[in-house]
Amino acid sequence: MKFIGKLLLWLLIALLLVALAFYFLLQTRWGAREVSGWISSNTQYHIAFDAMDHRFSSPSHILLKNVTFGRDGKPATLVAKAVDIGLSSRQLTDPLHADTITLQDGTLNLSPSAAPFPFEADTLQLSNMAFNSPETNWDLSAQRVTGGVSPWVPEAGNVLGKQAQIQMSAGSMTLNDLPATNVLVQGNIDNGVVTLSTLGADIARGSLTGNAKRNADGSWQVNSLRLTDIRMQSDKSLADFFAPLTTVPSLTIGSLEVTDARLQGPDWAIADLDLSLRNLTLSHGGWNSDGGRLSMNADEFIYGSLHLIDPIFNAAFSPQGVALRQFTSRWEGGMVRTSGNWLRNGNALVLDDTAIAGLEYTLPENWKQLWMDPLPAWLQSVTLSKFTASRNLVIDIDPAFPWQITSLDGYGDNLQVAKNGSWGVWGGHAALNAAAATFNRVDVRRPSLKLAANGSTVNITELSAFTEKGIIEASGAVSQLPQRQTAINLNGRGVPLDLLQQWGWPVLPIGGDGNLQLRASGSVQANAPLKPTVNAQLHAVNMSKQEVTQTMSNGEVSTAQPVVPAPTEAAPVPVSPPQP
């Protein structure tokens, strides 16, 4: 019996010596190489580490140095200088579930194709780590990340797990090409629902704070977001800049505050923007709101050739549409002011009171094309319930027919300037007058125009102007049908007879000053020439009583011979009788 006892004792001592040898060998480079090689050869994972460190002062912790972990043939999921694994009694029943795992000085790959971790932990701690998330909807890259995830139960395609509390900070981060520094995130994950209870960062030389929630379907609820002192430059157009807002299924904004922001793109810029937005949901290219509102102002707003100075915009949202409380701005040296409503039913904009004063505006070169282009789907009708204009200068530099109107005043009521997505004068009344004007190098004074429009016709009830020596008066009508049949009657009294020559009529065979009578009709269509449709008759008589009548048929003129009055017979001269 003593022999058996001694044998067992020696066996225990031998096993202990083997265990101690194995323990010390594992902490050598050779041991680390053998263990990692065995795991890589017998599993679908590739793991490598330089050494394992264990100290009796911290018996529940194992430290792996220079660790690389991933799936065979795939990019590494984890590269870290140190991985500290905290063990507990749970390892007796669940060997792959640690108490804590601390990743230090490395990179964690959040790609869905990255290898899932085969182990779990009550707490995952990060110290000076980097994040990368290629092949996901969030193009995320973060450096100097410190924080924790609790509990940490990773799954394939979901490194952080389905349910966890998160608290992290990052020295720098880039999300979808937007850089940020000093990032702080606190929140939780619950089966695809990501709640960010605290979100803060320094972005674009300013700061961002807020809280938000991302639902499992990809929609967002932004309860509060504040942007302060943002200075951002982008290489995207204004539409592309805001395009990411349309890529999510739904975006609900509870409160958005922007203070002193400056944004700039290739053909647009906003300077010193202050904005407050409440209760608005963007979804599937549209929006809805019940009791929402938007207030904004800026020092400058530039979009292409549009340059607004000190714009102010206040609006309220409802299921029925948008109530435009106020829009004012300085524009082209003058001022624009309006208010009204945009109605969802019919996509109609009704402006109650519109005033334009003091403008010095040169029309863009393509203004005729812009006039013919269809309006967007959300704006099919525009009506000016009340319209006033005062002291405006309008210029068109088209070399084919340049014109300028100086000190233009006007008023209108119920003036419908867009219908079924097309610009025009579709209804209402308007009256315009100016101090002076020039039409293709012909100067006139005190031009005035009055018109009344309905669904079938635009009636020009009064059109008059003083020329250098006389006056011209006209009236006319333009059909609202697609053929745009137009008729005009023009009378000139004491005017230069070559007046119409600058406006397209052939040279008259008589000259000087005199009277004109013109009756003309034609079809003014956007995509068809005007001249072949014009039929007209012109009668002119000068101060010498010479007169001529010209007839235009399909744009071609035939001229009757000028009528020259017969010379007046001289009175007989009395003859005196001869003197005796």
Asked if residue 489 is part of any domain, the answer here is yes
Asked if residue 33 is part of any domain, the answer here is yes
**Bigger pLDDT: 191 vs 274:** 274
- Give, in order, the Cα–Cα distances in Å from 79 to each of 31, 67, 82, 407: 20, 6, 9, 73
In this structure, the answer to whether residues 50 and 198 fall within a common structural domain is: yes
Mean pLDDT on 408-417: 96
Give how many domains the chain has, as a whole number. Answer: 3
* pLDDT tier, 9 (very low <50, low <70, confident <90, very high otherwise): low
- Give, in order, the Cα–Cα distances in Å from 520 to each of 468, 516, 528, 549: 24, 13, 18, 13
Mean pLDDT on 508-531: 90
Mean pLDDT on 438-449: 94
Residues 6 or more apart whose Cβ sits within 8 Å of residue 362:
395, 396, 397
Residues 6 or more apart whose Cβ sits within 8 Å of residue 112:
135, 136, 156, 157
* pLDDT tier, 580 (very low <50, low <70, confident <90, very high otherwise): very low
In this structure, the answer to whether residues 74 and 178 fall within a common structural domain is: yes
Ranges of H-type helices in 284-374:
367-372
**Amino acid, single-letter form, for residue 289:** S
In this structure, the answer to whether residues 33 and 72 fall within a common structural domain is: no
- Residue 580: DSSP 8-state: -
Helix axes 29-42, 2-26, angle to 10 degrees: 90
Mean pLDDT on 89-103: 82
- DSSP one-letter string for 413-469: EEEEEEETTEEEEEEEEEEEE-SEEEETTEEEEEEEEEEEE-SSEEEEEEEEEE-SS
**Bigger pLDDT: 72 vs 484:** 484
In this structure, the answer to whether residues 146 and 169 fall within a common structural domain is: yes
| Predicted pLDDT of residue 63 | 83
| Predicted pLDDT of residue 47 | 81
Asked if residue 320 is part of any domain, the answer here is no
Asked if residue 88 is part of any domain, the answer here is yes
The Cα–Cα gap between 452 and 143 comes to: 68
In this structure, the answer to whether residues 30 and 61 fall within a common structural domain is: no
* pLDDT tier, 579 (very low <50, low <70, confident <90, very high otherwise): very low
- pLDDT over 70 at 22, yes or no: no
In this structure, the answer to whether residues 75 and 186 fall within a common structural domain is: yes
Residue of 496, 542, 503 lying closest to 520 (CA atoms):
503
Asked if residue 336 is part of any domain, the answer here is no
| Predicted pLDDT of residue 570 | 43
The Cα–Cα gap between 577 and 356 comes to: 84
Residues 6 or more apart whose Cβ sits within 8 Å of residue 573:
none
**Amino acid, single-letter form, for residue 1:** M
Q: What is the pTM of this model?
A: 0.81
**Bigger pLDDT: 23 vs 142:** 142
The Cα–Cα gap between 243 and 236 comes to: 10
| Predicted pLDDT of residue 156 | 73
- pLDDT over 90 at 297, yes or no: yes
Containing H/E element for 352?
strand 348-357
Asked if residue 168 is part of any domain, the answer here is yes
pLDDT digits (tens, 9 = 90+) for 322-353: 999 999 999 999 999 999 999 999 999 999 99
- Give, in order, the Cα–Cα distances in Å from 3 to each of 6, 254, 405: 5, 83, 125
Report the range of poorest mean pLDDT among 99-113, 222-236, 529-543. 99-113
pLDDT digits (tens, 9 = 90+) for 37-82: 676 677 777 788 887 776 666 677 788 888 888 877 777 888 999 9
Asked if residue 133 is part of any domain, the answer here is yes
- pLDDT over 50 at 548, yes or no: yes
In this structure, the answer to whether residues 91 and 193 fall within a common structural domain is: yes
Mean pLDDT on 391-412: 95
* pLDDT tier, 140 (very low <50, low <70, confident <90, very high otherwise): confident
| Predicted pLDDT of residue 21 | 52
- pLDDT over 80 at 168, yes or no: yes
> CB–CB of 500/519 below 8 Å?
no
The Cα–Cα gap between 534 and 520 comes to: 7
* pLDDT tier, 558 (very low <50, low <70, confident <90, very high otherwise): confident
* pLDDT tier, 574 (very low <50, low <70, confident <90, very high otherwise): very low
| Predicted pLDDT of residue 571 | 43
In this structure, the answer to whether residues 168 and 26 fall within a common structural domain is: no
Question: What is the pLDDT of the chain when averaged over all its residues?
Answer: 87
In this structure, the answer to whether residues 82 and 164 fall within a common structural domain is: yes
Asked if residue 543 is part of any domain, the answer here is yes
Report the range of poorest mean pLDDT among 141-155, 375-389, 444-458. 141-155
- pLDDT over 70 at 115, yes or no: no
Report the range of poorest mean pLDDT among 265-274, 475-484, 522-531. 522-531
With tokens 């100067």, the residue in question is 443
The Cα–Cα gap between 327 and 399 comes to: 35
pLDDT digits (tens, 9 = 90+) for 450-467: 999 998 999 999 999 999
Ranges of H-type helices in 149-288:
238-242
In this structure, the answer to whether residues 15 and 105 fall within a common structural domain is: no
- pLDDT over 70 at 442, yes or no: yes
In this structure, the answer to whether residues 14 and 90 fall within a common structural domain is: no
| Predicted pLDDT of residue 568 | 46
Mean pLDDT on 294-321: 95
| Predicted pLDDT of residue 90 | 76
Mean pLDDT on 463-491: 93
Mean pLDDT on 567-572: 46
pLDDT digits (tens, 9 = 90+) for 359-374: 999 999 999 899 999 9
- pLDDT over 90 at 13, yes or no: no
Q: Which domain holds residue 509?
A: 467-525+532-556
* Cα 277 from chain centroid (whole Å): 16
Identify the top-confidence range among 112-126, 137-151, 420-434, 565-579: 420-434
- pLDDT over 70 at 577, yes or no: no
In this structure, the answer to whether residues 19 and 83 fall within a common structural domain is: no
